[in-house]
Chain A
Amino acid sequence: GDSVTQMEGPVTLSEEAFLTINCTYTATGYPSLFWYVQYPGEGLQLLLKATKADDKGSNKGFEATYRKETTSFHLEKGSVQVSDSAVYFCALSGTSYGKLTFGQGTILTVHP
């Protein structure tokens, strides 16, 4: 079945550091890929998505490129801020009715 594997956290960075959170997936067919962010005590917010190979999703300075050859969708940001501290979830949707499979989540803490 479908699965998503994220790099284990927690990740702790200083403000303005470069961020990479790795995500790889296993799926049949051509899934859509997502990054969601969850701030403390809140639900999930869609951060970015990509629906086909070589697509790049981007939002709020975050980027991720759909790499079919490596089955990856790594999240990057060039300069993180304290306000980026949250839990980040990689997910895929591989079926027609949109069921999401989530990775285990990566806790990011950014210090001033």
Chain B
Amino acid sequence: GAVVSQHPSWVICKSGTSVKIECRSLDFQATTMFWYRQFPKQSLMLMATSNEGSKATYEQGVEKDKFLINHASLTLSTLTVTSAHPEDSSFYICSGRAGGGGDTQYFGPGTRLTVL
């Protein structure tokens, strides 16, 4: 149980284009979803937290107009990287947390974004 999927698993795009990454909780309802960015050989950096039906809360230094997050349902959140540039190339990982006060996050497999 507690499976989170991400799509696509990898994507290559041209500079200036936008890319959408989907995060789905397959067997539980994720009232809260988190988006992380991971640079090579480094830890995860939390980008934003989103609750279903609410606007996302972004961490300091993360541009909310560049990284658009939508949490339209209890099983789906999307991250759109707008006007992507090479410096946005990274490994993006989402996680979901079920309701009911539990604090365990279940992570997706990640999406490798490469911007040319």
Hey, which bits of chain A sit against chain B, CB under 8 A? Answer: 32, 34, 36, 41-46, 49, 51, 89, 93, 96-100, 102-105, 107
**In the bound complex, CA of A100 to CA of B4 (Å):** 17
**Secondary structure dominating the interface of B:** strand
Min CB gap A56→B, angstroms: 17
Is there an interface contact between A44 and B107, defined as CB atoms closer than 8 Å?
Answer: yes
Is there an interface contact between B97 and A98, defined as CB atoms closer than 8 Å?
Answer: yes
A42-B110, A43-B110 known; A100+B105 contact, CB < 8 A: yes
**In the bound complex, CA of A28 to CA of B32 (Å):** 22
* List of 3 A-B pairs having minimum Cβ-Cβ separation, nearest first: A44-B107, A93-B103, A43-B109
Contacts of A99 in B (CB 8 A): 34, 46, 49
Contacts of A44 in B (CB 8 A): 44, 93, 95, 107
Is there an interface contact between A98 and B44, defined as CB atoms closer than 8 Å?
Answer: no
Fill in one digit per residue for B1-22: 1 if any A CB lies within 8 Å of its CB, else 0: 0001010000000000000000
Query: Which A residue's beta carbon lies closest to that of B46?
Result: A99
Min CB gap A15→B, angstroms: 24
Is there an interface contact between A89 and B44, defined as CB atoms closer than 8 Å?
Answer: yes
A42-B109, A43-B109, A45-B107 known; A98+B32 contact, CB < 8 A: yes
**In the bound complex, CA of A107 to CA of B106 (Å):** 21
